[in-house]
Amino acid sequence: MTSHNDTLFARAQRTTPGGVNSPVRAFRSVGGTPRFITRAEGPYTWDADGKRYTDYVGSWGPAIVGHAHPTVIKAVQDAAVRGLSFGAPTEAEIEMAEEICKLVPSIEQVRLVSSGTEATMSALRLARGATGRDMIVKFEGCYHGHADSLLVKAGSGALTFGNPTSAGVPADFVQHTLVLDYNNVAQLEETFARVGDKIACVIVEPVAGNMNLVRGTSAFLHTMRRLCTQYGALLIFDEVMSGFRVGLHGAQALHNITPDITALGKVIGGGMPVAAFGGRADLMKHMAPLGAVYQAGTLSGNPVAVAAGMATLRLIQEPGFYESLGTQTRRLTDGLTQAAQDAGVTFCADAVGGMFGLYFATQPPTSYAEMMASDKEKFNRFFHAMLDQGHYFAPAAFEAGFVSAQHSDAVIDGTIAAARTAFAALT
């Protein structure tokens, strides 16, 4: 019998490039047919064939309180009946800005936008506008959205400017972007020693989630902060993924580092399109209408989306929320690691808060190069074995996973039991 997923995928490819509206959804990395989701609730999603999956994608992070949480749904319904979009200020936008500034002390003022790409793109423009410099530094394997100047891979050697990673991005657009190795302190020091007075900003995922989960070391991040201060560059923490995921105050609180600008997204929308960028008030005054750095958006601060985000932000502040979330995530990673060990499969895992990484390698990677050296073929086989048993992990070896507050002991234990079967099939 033909799967409804197959039928939908064939139909989608006639009118949408690759049949999807974001590339990773196409399953090109792992092979096979993507699952078309019809509904979600708690820790589960259901596909077009009616099959239920324990979901470890969580809409790539936002579903931290679980899918379709009654409190979030009620907030959205209440907001929707008052109107879907106004293109004018609302009190709800003020409430969200106040909440973000309260929870992330490095942010004194914040601007709401609709996507993580908008947040990081605008943060870069602000950094360049505030410093009067052009050069930016990013790190191999960190993804900051699809703005032209950030779709860059490393050049042919250290301290050479990057090359575009996407067709349609002129080389001129990335001529001011330096791409360095993640967690390489010496290279960072050398770069600032040579061109520090030309650098507008350094942008980094303090906990990387787009080359799988890779932790930034304390030495790496603190060196970055010291050098930016010393040379007058701005430090941008891209916490679109890690913000409110690894802890209530973000990765910056885990490392006790104060970035100049922070980009947020995902969790602050609770599943709806909300993102933000913010920082010190003296920097944010450069934004229009106060300053000369322009940014605008018709749907920025959309009332329905903000309602979902505010309901989520209140739920994650309930006592013990992050302690429980971290415990459950570790239950998953420890259980998977033990299951692999029992099967004799080379495998390890790591977790920070409600984010986790799975690696078919001897130890968690610390850089893009180390992540690329992992066994991708084994991951693909593991992915499909788990999918067949009703457990949905990210359909690529280079993406972090996510646990929600609705992933109970029983739910996670069911995943670990399925993993024992999947790992046994890999040997």
Distance, CA of 46 to CA of 325 (rounded, Å): 23
Please give the average per-residue pLDDT across 47-69, as a whole number.
Answer: 98
Our CA angle for 340, 369, 260, nearest 5°, is: 105
Task: Give the confidence band of 62 by pLDDT, cuts at 50, 70, 90.
Answer: very high
Amino acid 2: pLDDT = 85
Please determine, for residue 156, whether its predicted confidence score (pLDDT) is greater than 60: no
Question: With contact defined as beta carbons under 8 Å apart, do 232 and 131 qualify?
Answer: yes
Please give the average per-residue pLDDT across 376-399, as a whole number.
Answer: 97
Which residues have C-beta within 8 Å of that of residue 412, sequence separation ≥ 6?
328, 331, 332, 335, 403
Amino acid 249: pLDDT = 98
Task: Give the confidence band of 160 by pLDDT, cuts at 50, 70, 90.
Answer: low
Please give the average per-residue pLDDT across 254-269, as a whole number.
Answer: 98
Amino acid 38: pLDDT = 98
Please give the average per-residue pLDDT across 174-186, as a whole number.
Answer: 94
- Structural domains of the chain sorted by starting position, each given as residue range(s) with its CATH number in brackets: 4-64+320-424 (3.90.1150.10), 70-315 (3.40.640.10)
- Known catalytic residues? 143, 238, 266
Amino acid 91: pLDDT = 98
Query: What is the SS3 assignment for the chain?
Result: CCCHHHHHHHHHHHHCHHHCCCHHHHCCCCCCCCCCEEEEEECEEEECCCCEEEECCHHHCCCCCCECCHHHHHHHHHHHCCCCCCCCCCHHHHHHHHHHHHHCCCCCEEEEECCHHHHHHHHHHHHHHHHCCCEEEEECCCCCCCCHHHCEECCCCCCCECEECCCCCCHHHHCCEEEECCCCHHHHHHHHHHHHHHEEEEEECCEECCCCCEECCHHHHHHHHHHHHHHCCEEEEEECCCCCCCCCCCHHHHHCCCCCEEEECHHHHECECCEEEEECHHHHCCECCCCCECCCCCCCCCHHHHHHHHHHHHHCCCCCHHHHHHHHHHHHHHHHHHHHHHHCCCCEEEEECCEEEEECCCCCCCCHHHHHCCCHHHHHHHHHHHHHCCEECCCCCCCCEECCCCCCHHHHHHHHHHHHHHHHCCC
Please determine, for residue 87, whether its predicted confidence score (pLDDT) is greater than 60: yes
Question: With contact defined as beta carbons under 8 Å apart, do 240 and 104 qualify?
Answer: no
pLDDT in tens, 190-212: 999 999 999 999 999 999 999 99
Task: Give the confidence band of 344 by pLDDT, cuts at 50, 70, 90.
Answer: very high
pLDDT in tens, 265-316: 999 999 999 999 999 999 999 999 999 999 999 999 999 999 999 999 999 9
Amino acid 163: pLDDT = 78
Question: With contact defined as beta carbons under 8 Å apart, do 353 and 322 qualify?
Answer: yes
Distance, CA of 253 to CA of 128 (rounded, Å): 25
Q: What percent of the chain has pLDDT over 70?
A: 98
Distance, CA of 311 to CA of 316 (rounded, Å): 9
Amino acid 155: pLDDT = 60
Please determine, for residue 158, whether its predicted confidence score (pLDDT) is greater than 60: no
Please determine, for residue 242, whether its predicted confidence score (pLDDT) is greater than 90: yes
Amino acid 169: pLDDT = 85
Amino acid 347: pLDDT = 98
Distance, CA of 285 to CA of 272 (rounded, Å): 28
Lowest-confidence region among 84-88, 149-153, 361-365, 386-390: 149-153
Amino acid 90: pLDDT = 97
Distance, CA of 427 to CA of 382 (rounded, Å): 11
Amino acid 427: pLDDT = 85
Please determine, for residue 157, whether its predicted confidence score (pLDDT) is greater than 60: no
Tell me the pLDDT of the chain averaged across its residues. Answer: 96
